Structure 1
């Protein structure tokens, strides 16, 4: 039985729609994680129009039920932050793998989606990682710059923001970096990106 991609994406979106956090978009209030997932899909299409169905599912689900594990459920320290992120990725990968198995994916296919979401196959150091994992990482970075950066920037000092931008840039592949340079960013964002890339 072939995977039912449409039904899988519908199940993922149904979960996104339960997010109690809302965002105003085009005069309507919608769940934030549904908005985020749609943004991710839009950037995936710009980045890799021929993305595999497994990558499409992973990109759509990378923040799956994230609101259920708030940042404050872990210590407000650097170690606590990384523990929160690591726990989230593992949890999200496992949950979406189960949805995939319910919709006709083989164990291998569902496992691949879960590993993409948990980012187990990103390149480490000089090693070559999974190309689809890099695409997913690019998409996440692009959505951050497009949808979250201006709010984030107002909450932190310039030195920290420039450092985050430098780290974000290094995470991205060449295709992701090229798309980032083409984005219609705010003037403040352009200024900070310029400082990050000049260092």
Structure 2
């Protein structure tokens, strides 16, 4: 790991350590960032530095933009998600610039965090695949406990649609999903 990469990761972690929400006794955003880096290293061991940074910064300071500040319903949810992506990209790109990363690398990380080029840009798609794996591995079961089977099926279908065909195939080998949910990951 380069010195600049280590400093950006440390800065993201320092920001996320301020998350007032807790998960498993740790600040929620900090734990999420660590999980993202872990999955990225497992799924894409040769990831570029901008991709490593984008993965760690995927939820940087997520608590600062409360979902409750946006209208109810899908339109409000999507507006909140766009605002979050912009915030994450702004914070991460600023940290990268501070550590001497050039325009090309900072713009690449920003595109990844904004999901610009999903299904067209390999690194944006790699980040999305990692996000989906992290969701399935650590957040799906608690989510499923709180929602109806119809909602769960809908979320699984949306998750599968965002993933590359390689990632969907890998889900089928790594997760023991019930048949109705597994079909969403089959090509």
Tell whether the structures are fold-level matches, with TM greater than 0.5: yes
Pairwise CA distance, 1:39: 0.9
Q: How does 1:151-166 map to 2 (within 5 A)?
A: 151-166=142-157
Aligned residues between the structures: 185
- When normalised by structure 2's length, the TM-score is 0.92
Q: Secondary structure at the residue paired with 2:23?
A: strand
Native 8 Å contact 2:96 2:106 kept in 1: yes
Query: What does residue 60 of structure 2 align with?
Result: 64
Do the aligned partners of residues 192 and 36 (structure 1) sit closer, same or farther apart at CA in structure 2, a change above 3 Å counting?
farther
Correspondence for 1:9? 9
**RMSD over equivalenced CA pairs, Å:** 1.8
Query: What is the aligned partner in structure 1 of residue 88 from structure 2?
Result: 92
Map of 1:177 onto structure 2: 168
SS at 2:100's partner residue? coil
Mapping 1:4-153, distance limit 5 Å: 4-24=4-24, 29-123=25-119, 129-153=120-144
Q: Distance in 2 between matches of 1:194 and 1:164?
A: 12
Determine if contact 1:47/1:179 at 8 Å carries over to the other structure. no
Q: TM-score, normalised by structure 1?
A: 0.86
Q: Deviations over 1:61-87 (max 9, x none)?
A: 011101111111111111100110011
Structure 1: gaps (5+ residues): 124-128
Listed as ranges, the gaps of 5+ residues in structure 2 are: none
User: Which residue of the partner structure matches residue 126 of structure 1?
Assistant: none
CA deviations 1:33-83 (Å, max 9, x no partner) are: 111111111111121111111110111101110111111111111110011
Question: Which is richer in helix?
Answer: 2
- 1:54–1:40: structure 2 CA closer, same or farther, 3 Å change rule? same
